[in-house]
Amino acid sequence: MLTTVEFVLTGPSHGRPFAADATYLAPDSPAAPARPVVVFVHGFKGFKDWGHFPLLARFFAAQGFVFIKLNLSHNGVVVGGSGDLEDLEAFGHNNFSHELNDLGQLLDALHTPGATPLPAALLDLGRLFLIGHSRGGGLVLLKAAEDARIRAVATWAAVADLAPRWPTEVLAQWQREGVLYVPNSRTGQQLPMYYQIAEDYHANLPRLDLPSLVPQLRQPLLIVHGDPDETVPLGAAQELLARKPDAELFIVPGAGHMFGGSHPWASAELPPLARLVAERTATFFRQYP
């Protein structure tokens, strides 16, 4: 039977609660073997229940994984709220350190008996895998660079660098005014980004410098990207591969940034391209017992 368990963590540095959930097939007996664990990280303007992401959880669970997804603490989603972006002030105060710490806190909780409602015997934490979409792809690469508990990593339509890339005059105005607004075309919202995210990046560069850290990755890496990606060009995947030549590159012909998904997603089936990506990723992870 397919089971989903929800839980909430609270960041010790920022005090903000954030939700996670785990989906898996309930074991047939107490002696059933532990399952490999996949942690999925959403991207910029994303959240754990966006579009077809719940169907991804069901897919990986059916493949024998425990699939865990989380809302990063400052993504704008409120625990117990609408499930969509609504706390724009929190969104504006997001930064890469918060995101990396949130992911680390979740991984620590999985390794701490009683810190989550998941049965410890269910989790094979020797086979702990990360998937990150878009900016979340950059995040899982950073986490793998600093956490040897991670067995392998897959990036889906990932960025190759977190450095602010706005023109010099835009950066100067942002620093002067303290806030930059980015549109959410899906909702019509104007999302604030306070300049502190740029300050956090520069203050913590040794931890956040993807171009320098990716070549040091010891974990196996699968890079997945659509060739006509309209948000993060295919060149980002080629940059990642150039920095880690032993990675596997899977280019998906015709796949946009969301691999055919949208929000809301009304179908009971995964978008065909998203299913293709999920199948390829599950096969990749199974290589690492």
242 and 32 Cβ atoms separated by less than 8 Å: no
Q: What are 199-244's pLDDT values in tens digits? A: 999 999 999 999 999 999 999 999 999 999 999 999 999 999 999 9
CA 286 to chain centre: 20
Q: What are 27-75's pLDDT values in tens digits? A: 887 778 999 999 999 999 999 999 999 999 999 999 999 999 999 999 9
For the chain, percent of residues with pLDDT exceeding 70: 100
pLDDT over 80 (residue 77): yes
**H-assigned helices in 163-229:** 168-177, 196-203, 205-208, 210-213
Cα(67)–Cα(49) distance, integer angstroms: 13
Q: What are 202-214's pLDDT values in tens digits? A: 999 999 999 999 9
Q: What is the pTM of this model?
A: 0.98
Domains and CATH numbers, the chain: 2-162+207-286 (3.40.50.1820)
Let me know if 111 is exposed, middle or buried by CB neighbors in 10 A (0-12, 13-18, 19+). middle
Phi/psi at 194 (nearest 5 deg)?
-75, 150
